[in-house]
Each structure stands twice: as structure tokens, then as C-alpha cells.
A and B are shown apart, each in its own frame.
Chain A
């Protein structure tokens, strides 16, 4: 295991609203990674805090949700990069946990006494993926490509990158989910124009791309970061609730967080059943309280309730086609991404709009992670002839006098890109110029997303004399940097925009350090990796010694060593650090006679002036 090889490992991560996955390219093909126990790493994006502040992530957290609904956080992606005023009533209805009202700029989730940022919650999910991937790979994972919805704004992208940093990952690239999906889809080498319809757990994206000799060029993208499978699930829960209230008036389900959580789970199962059959039965059971209810549901009822949400996605598709100057008949394929696209209603509506059967060969749950792994492979220097040319989903500009907006970069501009604008002061002796950076399509500043304010200090001059030159630069992650200079005086200010709704670099660093202090699991995982590496070294060295000096051992001693080697191999394949450690020790002890023989040879050789290599001793000793 050379050090350069270790350095080159870059994984692809799909940090989803509902589930998160990690993938890697192996032998030229992207695969979803497995953990130490050989299980596919498919982590529900759920985090639960125990009363002692220890943390559960993934399936365990989901199992705990009914017992601890207020200490269990799901769908955190909906809150990434948001301020309190951005959290819609729809979001609130979906999220049963409490939000801290202390800081209007940055949403925090209240878990008991703690107020946790969405970045930290996401970091816990990323850390779980990282740890399990490391256990499976037997080596450290330091670098990653992480996907985000194409329609994520600057603040949401930065929040995702910060979550990666807090989890101890070097995020080499943030890429858009539909673009990643196109990469996994288009690897076969088919050229053409495709639409990627990505209905995720919490967000909807549509991208139109042109694939041409390994270049994946996004022509346009559109979406809705407040539209996802969560919304469809909620319609089903609402449907079940209204039926329940009619039938069981005594049950106050709405005021009962535990029953609500159980109902959500049951609705999820019923939804899956409704994808393949016309009717399903929602089974609500609470054994602790002797509740057992069967609710019949019909697909038609569900579809009636879900239709407005699907229509919303179609309107976004039409805009994307318009912006791309592509007609439906010019498309070569429509690719479906996200679990929601298994819903028959969604498939039928997509088919109706695009006038063709959508492509369903790729697993809609895995395709984004697989595509991220391909991009990770490219950035790691595999030499794969692939180039992604993505776009910025929303226009970027500055506030002008009177609350208007000057757009510097238009939506669907290929990134990286830059634009400049010159302006001046309107008052004499003005020494402070404030630049308000905005993102969005609306004409008035108040209707756009406020990304950042920043200030440029200049020497006093008469009005209109200063020449202020502002440059916007969007990097390949879709993240904005702004630079301003007053050309007569040379006063300069340059910032990587710290979003209004984000964390500063200092905050990210502090949280990262805090998380290191508290991350017991992380320490455990590292111990596991170290033990595995040590086992591998010891096994190799023992094998070598046996080849060189095994003949000098008794038959029994040799058999005993081989047995202990088998035991170590077996325990190194598990996640049980104690067992690995014990097996290591046992092998070292059993191999002592072998080490002794080798040592004697070394001593003899030293007397005779031979070199160590000649006697089969090597720097990798067994003890």
C-alpha cells in the first residue's frame, strides 16, 4: 500500500434528504461501497441523540424515532443554508423536531438543551459514511466529491461543503445531482441530448444535458428546493390521518408524536405497496398501548392528493426545456433519478410530458452516488476522458439604488464563469461602499435571496469620481467569490462570500475541533483501521518468515502458527476490534519460535558479514 495510492483515494458521496450513499470506482466501474461486515452502505439520513448526548446515525436512529421523536432529526437537507425566515410552513409541517429561535440568520435544531446546526447534523451523517467506508476498505478516506441538488443556491452549497469539512473530509468538488446521474448513465458512450428528471426526498431538479465524446454539458437546469418525496409522503400521512380521525375519534393522533412517527413509518410501507398494486393496507400498531388498526388505501386517492406536487415538477421541466432551446422531440432519452420516480403517477406524467418512455435501467437510488464516484475518479487522476460542464442554476447580481437588481451572471451560465460591473458613489466624500450580493430571478432585491453584504472602504472623493470595479467569480463548485477595487485609490476588498445564512471559516474550524474531541466512534473506527493494517502487515511478514525459515520449525509449531493466521484473517474481516487485537496477540505469541530462529540467523549472518536480506530477515518483523 504505497503512500501516493493512499493519497489518491477519492470517494463519491450522495448526501440525500432520505438516504445517503458512498461509492468508489473499482477496476474502472463505479460501485456502492460496503462496510466492514460486507453490507452495502445505505444510510438513512437520520440522526438521533440519546439522553447521554451520544449519537445514533442511520437505521438505528430511524428505529429510535417513535420513542424519541423530538430527539431524532430527519430531512435535515431541507434546512441546509437557510435562515429562519426561509423555513416555510410546508417545511415546518414535515419536520417534527423543534427549531431554535435564537438566531434568525442560521437555523438550528433544538435537541434537548443543545442547538445543532444543519451543517453539524449533515456532518454526522457524512462521518458515518466515512467510518463505514473506511472499515470496509481498510484504509482512511480523506477526500470526497459530494453531490447537491442542482437548484441549491450558494448558501446551501457552502453549507454542504462546510458539513464535509466538519466531518473531516477534504471536499474536492461539489457536483449537481442530475449531472452526476448523467455521468453514471452516459458512461456507455452514447452521445445525444438527455433530460434528467430527479425527484429526490426533499428537492426536485431537472437538467437538460448534451453528451458529446465524453463531455457532459449542461444546457439548462431548473428545480424546486421545496419539493420532494417528503411532500408526497405527507399527503399520504394526511390522507391516513383524516381517515383515522373519522374512525377513531378518541385517538388524538395529531397531538401524539409517538403515534405520528409510527404512522409515518406505516405510510412509507403503504406507499411502496401502492407503487405495485392498486390497493394497500396501512397497518398502524403500537403494542405498548394495544393499538392495532388497519386502514385500506386506494392508489387513486393517493394520486389525487399527490398530483399537484407532480404538476409543479412538470412546470419546472418546461422552463428547463425553454431555457435550453431544446424541444421534446430533440431529446434522445429521459433518465429518472430518486426513489419517488418509482411512483406510477410520476412515471405516467413524465412520459406524457416528454412523449417517450423514461429510461429505467439505472437504479434511481444509486445513480447519483455512482456518478459522484466517476467524477471522484476523474479528479483523483485516473485519466478517464470525462469532462463535466455544469451551469449555475440562478442569476447572481447586486442591489442597485432604490432596491433594484443588476444581474452580473445569468442563470444557466456555464461555470466556472466571471463578470464585472463598474459603478460609482452618489454622495460626496463617501468612504464606505456597501455591496449587497443577491441570487435569484426577480427584479427587486427584496424578492431575491440575500447572499452577503460586504464593505469596501475608500478615500473621500466627490460623488461619481470613484471607479468601483466589482468582479463576480463562480468556481467549478458553483460557489461565488466577489472582488471589489476602487481603481483611483487602489482600495481593495476580496471575499469568498460568507453567506448570510452560513458559518464563517472560524466557526467551521471550531465545530470540527469540537467534533474531534467528542467523536468516540471516530476513535474506535481509527483503532479498527489501525488494527486491520497491523494484521495485514503481520500476516504478510509471518508468511514470508514461514517461507524462509519454516522448515526449521517442528510440524506442530508450524501448524499452530498457520491456525492462528487463519484466526486473525477471520477476525480482521469483522468490525470487532477486541477480537482482532486478541487474534493479533495470539499470532505474535505463537510465532515467537519462528522469530527466534530468524533472530539467530541474523546474529550468525552479522558475524559472517552477510547482508540481512540474504538471510530472509526483513524490516517487517513479526513483533
Chain B
């Protein structure tokens, strides 16, 4: 059973976040080790310990699956793998000119971080956010064309680029949070 099926969702890129959450909380109430409590008269015994150990394995797998489906980037990676696409290790290509662009952007961000130039960091963050949204939009339409071979190859390239964008975005966010307004 794949992660989508586990949470009772259709296997596709678009996921209803509230539906995923509702299903996740419902399953957590069943599977979490803390929900395995002594039955009347059982006490803290071996059979309880065995139930808790099983629950640990199940809920660890469930939490990891939920984290995967909860993030668009991870969900895309996972779905691409299910559809037989390549991993980032197997195909490291990025869109033409992308790496050069990233390198320059990164340099600029480092400079702004060093100068504690908050407005500049915030501008770059907004730009990165919109570039991330654009790429996710492309990912969405590419998944709509899957399982076409070219679509899967293009998805790999987009997701590789997306990884760079999210990393840099995360760095700016933590720099901004560390400094405070």
C-alpha cells in the first residue's frame, strides 16, 4: 500500500490538506504507542509492551508518510518515484542557465546576510517564493501529463531546481528569524 492509499487519498499530486490532516489525526488516535493502554486488569505487562512496540513501528512509518505527503516538494519526489521516474542521484540535470543564476543569487544573499540588510533579504525571499510557486505550478501540470516519459524526465529537472530554491529560501528565513525585526 502506498502512502496515498494509507491515508485514503487518490494517488495524484494534488492533495486536499484538510482531508490528509483529518485522516492523519484519526489514524494517530488508533496507532500511537501512547494509545496502547492497559486493558482492565492487564497492568503494565508484557502483552502491553508488545502492543506498544508494534504501535511504535506503525506510527513511525505513518508519521514519516504524513511528512512526505504534507510537503509539496517531498510529495512530488515520492510520486515521481512511484511513477518510475529517476532519483536526483540518477539524473542531476537542472534547467539551462539555472545554476549560474542560483550562484549569483546565493552570493547576493550571503552579502545581504553579512550586511544585515533586512529589506534586501525580504525582497529576495519574496522573489524566491514566487519562483517556487511557479515551479510547483509546472510540476502540477507535468504530473497531469504523466506517465508520459518526457513528462517524467522534465519533472526530474524541475524538482532538482526546486530543491535549490527551497534550500536558499530556508536559509533566508532562518537568517531573518535569528536577527529579529
Which residues of A line the B interface, CB within 8 A? 4, 7-8, 143, 170, 172-173, 212-213, 215, 217, 311, 314-315, 318-319, 321-322, 375, 378-383, 387-389, 413-419, 473-476
Which chain B residues lie closer than 8 Å to A416 at the CB level? Answer: 33, 56, 59-60, 63
| Chain B: minimal CB distance from A369 (Å) | 19
Interface membership of B28, Cβ < 8 A = yes
B67 CB contact (under 8 Å) in A212, A387, A388, A417: A417
The CA-CA distance from A575 to B135 in the complex, in Å, is 72
Which chain A residues lie closer than 8 Å to B179 at the CB level? Answer: 315
The CA-CA distance from A383 to B40 in the complex, in Å, is 11
Let me know if A4 and B41 touch, CB within 8 A.
yes
Interface membership of B35, Cβ < 8 A = yes
21 A–B contacts from the bound complex (CB under 8 Å): A4-B43, A215-B28, A318-B178, A321-B177, A322-B174, A378-B34, A378-B37, A379-B34, A380-B37, A380-B38, A381-B37, A381-B42, A382-B37, A387-B28, A387-B34, A414-B63, A416-B56, A417-B60, A417-B64, A418-B64, A475-B56
Let me know if A215 and B29 touch, CB within 8 A.
yes
| Chain A: minimal CB distance from B172 (Å) | 10
Which residues of B line the A interface, CB within 8 A? 25, 28-29, 32-35, 37-39, 41-44, 56-57, 59-61, 63-64, 66-67, 173-174, 176-180
| Chain A: minimal CB distance from B79 (Å) | 18
Let me know if A476 and B37 touch, CB within 8 A.
no
The CA-CA distance from A172 to B44 in the complex, in Å, is 9
Which chain B residues lie closer than 8 Å to A143 at the CB level? Answer: 44
| Chain A: minimal CB distance from B48 (Å) | 9
Which chain A residues lie closer than 8 Å to B37 at the CB level? Answer: 378-383
Closest to B33 in A: A476
Which chain A residues lie closer than 8 Å to B174 at the CB level? Answer: 319, 322
Which chain B residues lie closer than 8 Å to A212 at the CB level? Answer: 25
B32 CB contact (under 8 Å) in A172, A375, A387: A387
Let me know if A8 and B38 touch, CB within 8 A.
yes
| Chain A: minimal CB distance from B166 (Å) | 12
Which chain B residues lie closer than 8 Å to A172 at the CB level? Answer: 44
The CA-CA distance from A318 to B176 in the complex, in Å, is 9
Closest to B52 in A: A476
A389 CB contact (under 8 Å) in B28, B39, B61: B28
The CA-CA distance from A381 to B66 in the complex, in Å, is 27
Number of A-B contacts (CB under 8 A): 87
B63 CB contact (under 8 Å) in A4, A215, A375, A413: A413
Which chain B residues lie closer than 8 Å to A389 at the CB level? Answer: 28, 32
Which chain B residues lie closer than 8 Å to A322 at the CB level? Answer: 173-174, 176-177
B interface majority secondary structure? helix
The CA-CA distance from A381 to B173 in the complex, in Å, is 43
Closest to A143 in B: B44
Known: A318-B180, A319-B174. A476 touches B34 (CB 8 A): yes
Known: A170-B44, A319-B174, A322-B174. A476 touches B32 (CB 8 A): yes
| Chain B: minimal CB distance from A215 (Å) | 6
Known: A378-B34, A380-B38, A387-B35. A7 touches B44 (CB 8 A): yes
Let me know if B34 and A315 touch, CB within 8 A.
no
Which chain A residues lie closer than 8 Å to B35 at the CB level? Answer: 387
Let me know if A319 and B29 touch, CB within 8 A.
no
| Chain B: minimal CB distance from A309 (Å) | 15
Which chain B residues lie closer than 8 Å to A474 at the CB level? Answer: 60
Most buried by A among B25, B33, B44: B44
The CA-CA distance from A322 to B180 in the complex, in Å, is 11
B61 CB contact (under 8 Å) in A213, A379, A383, A418: A418
Which chain B residues lie closer than 8 Å to A413 at the CB level? Answer: 63-64, 67
Closest to A471 in B: B60
Known: A7-B43, A215-B29, A315-B178. A415 touches B34 (CB 8 A): no
The CA-CA distance from A4 to B43 in the complex, in Å, is 6
| Chain B: minimal CB distance from A227 (Å) | 15
Which chain B residues lie closer than 8 Å to A321 at the CB level? Answer: 177
Which chain B residues lie closer than 8 Å to A380 at the CB level? Answer: 37-38
Let me know if B63 and A415 touch, CB within 8 A.
yes
The CA-CA distance from A8 to B63 in the complex, in Å, is 29
| Chain A: minimal CB distance from B174 (Å) | 6
The CA-CA distance from A138 to B23 in the complex, in Å, is 45
Which chain B residues lie closer than 8 Å to A473 at the CB level? Answer: 56-57, 60
Let me know if A387 and B66 touch, CB within 8 A.
no
The CA-CA distance from A571 to B63 in the complex, in Å, is 54
Which chain B residues lie closer than 8 Å to A381 at the CB level? Answer: 37-39, 42
The CA-CA distance from A379 to B178 in the complex, in Å, is 38
The CA-CA distance from A311 to B176 in the complex, in Å, is 15
Which chain A residues lie closer than 8 Å to B42 at the CB level? Answer: 381
The CA-CA distance from A215 to B34 in the complex, in Å, is 12
| Chain B: minimal CB distance from A18 (Å) | 28
The CA-CA distance from A167 to B66 in the complex, in Å, is 38
Let me know if B44 and A315 touch, CB within 8 A.
no
| Chain A: minimal CB distance from B61 (Å) | 6
Given contacts A387-B32, A414-B63, A414-B66, 6 further A-B contacts (CB under 8 A): A8-B38, A8-B43, A8-B44, A172-B44, A413-B63, A416-B59
Closest to B29 in A: A387
The CA-CA distance from A318 to B118 in the complex, in Å, is 15
